[in-house]
Amino acid sequence: MPTAAQKFMVFDQDSFLSICNGDHELENNLLNVISHSLIKETYKLEMAGNQRETEGLRQQWHHLKGTLGGLGQLHLCKIIDQLEASDHAFSPSNLLLHSSFVNKLKILALEMEKFSKMKQKISN
Amino acid sequence: MDTVSQTISKKKIVYVIDDSESYQKILQAHLDQLGFQVVSFFSVKDCLNSQHPKPDVILLDQNLGDGELGTNHLPQLRSRIPAVPIVFLSVDGNVSIVTEAVRKGAFDYIEKNSAAFVRLRTTLDNVFNSFDKQKRIRQKILVVLGILGFLALMVLWGWYFGQL
């Protein structure tokens, strides 16, 4: 049975290492790059959502789909598919899904950042 | 030594054309690790206007933002930067997009998923293996043509002096 903490864990360290071909140096570099990018992309996504920019929002979803796909975050990619499939980017149901997606992204970015810092401490 | 290892000593140049800064950085980290020199662009226009040395391979994204599609730029890229293999990238594994890309001359196709980076390594291996093979074949053809030319000259020379 997973513990409560494991249930909320969205970043799978083992599968991330396998994405990096088991290369720890690459893992460290990528963790650093992706956690920073994710924070930046999430901010842009929030801005596009707040400013009701349909094109900007769709572009951000698409960018994130590539990044998250590369991270093996398929459940988040499926949410983007759902968001993209809607004709109205700002429909009430899409807005609700969008805000839950943004929250999940923030958790993922924070977990990655935390893991990246932990790895840096260990290597130092 | 495998092909990827061989490239490390030569520092082959990879152009990345993708409008996502994050994905550019992710690719850069992977390709740096493999020993490639990476030059990133946000659009095909930027790439074509660049003064960088000619690349050994181009990684081209399908969705380039503002409604621009990589598949539409493939013929132009192939004519402006000839004899350079283009590997296509897309988040959707859509068969029609893949078919169109290959039909327009893409060397291979990589879907942006968790297997993308393993595929990238294999694809780059294939690119350089295939190009090395083509280069060797071209060299052999040149040697054979040279020998045939020399023999033809000898025959002509013999025939000319036989006439005298």
- Pick from B63, B65, B112: CB nearest A70: B112
- CA–CA gap between residue A62 and residue A65 (Å, rounded): 5
CA atoms within 13 A on the CB side of B46: 12
Looking up tokens 């999430």, which residue turns up?
A42
Question: Is B33–A26 a contact, with Cβ atoms under 8 angstroms apart?
Answer: yes
Q: What is the 3-state secondary structure (H, E, C) of B79-92?
A: HHCCCCCEEEEECC
pLDDT band at A5 (very low <50, low <70, confident <90, very high): very low
Question: By the CB < 8 Å criterion, does B67 face chain A?
Answer: no
| pTM over 0.95, yes/no | no
Radius of gyration of chain A (CA): 15
Residue B7 has pLDDT above 60, yes or no: no
Q: Is the pLDDT of residue B2 over 60?
A: no
Q: Is residue B8's pLDDT more than 60?
A: no
Chain B positions in Cβ-Cβ contact with residue A15 (cut-off 8 Å): 114
Nearest beta carbon to residue A66 from set B29, B30, B112: B112
Tell me B147's DSSP state: H
Give the residue carrying structure tokens 């380039």: B64
Q: What is the mean pLDDT of chain A?
A: 83
* DSSP H/E element including B17: strand B13-17
Quote the Cα angle for B76-B102-A68, to 5°: 95
The reply to whether residue B65 touches residue A59, judged by beta carbons under 8 angstroms, is yes
Sign of CA dihedral B14, B15, B19, B25: positive
The interface predicted TM-score (ipTM) is 0.77
Scan for tokens 């196709």, then name that residue: B109
| More confident position, B162 or B57 | B57
Tokens of B151: 């023999």
A16: closest chain B residue by CA: B114
Most confident of A47-56, A70-79, A108-117, B149-158: B149-158
Instruction: Give the residue from B40, B91, B125 with the most A CB atoms within 10 Å of its CB, the best one to mutate.
Output: B91
- Is residue A25 less than 8 Å (CB to CB) from chain B? yes
Q: What number is the average pLDDT over the span B75-90?
A: 91
Closest residue on chain A to B30 (Cα): A26
Q: What is the distance in angstroms between the CA of the first residue and the CA of the last residue of chain B?
A: 58
Element (H, E) at B161: helix B116-163
E-assigned strand segments in chain A:
none
pLDDT digits (tens, 9 = 90+) for B17-49: 998 888 898 899 889 888 899 999 999 999 999
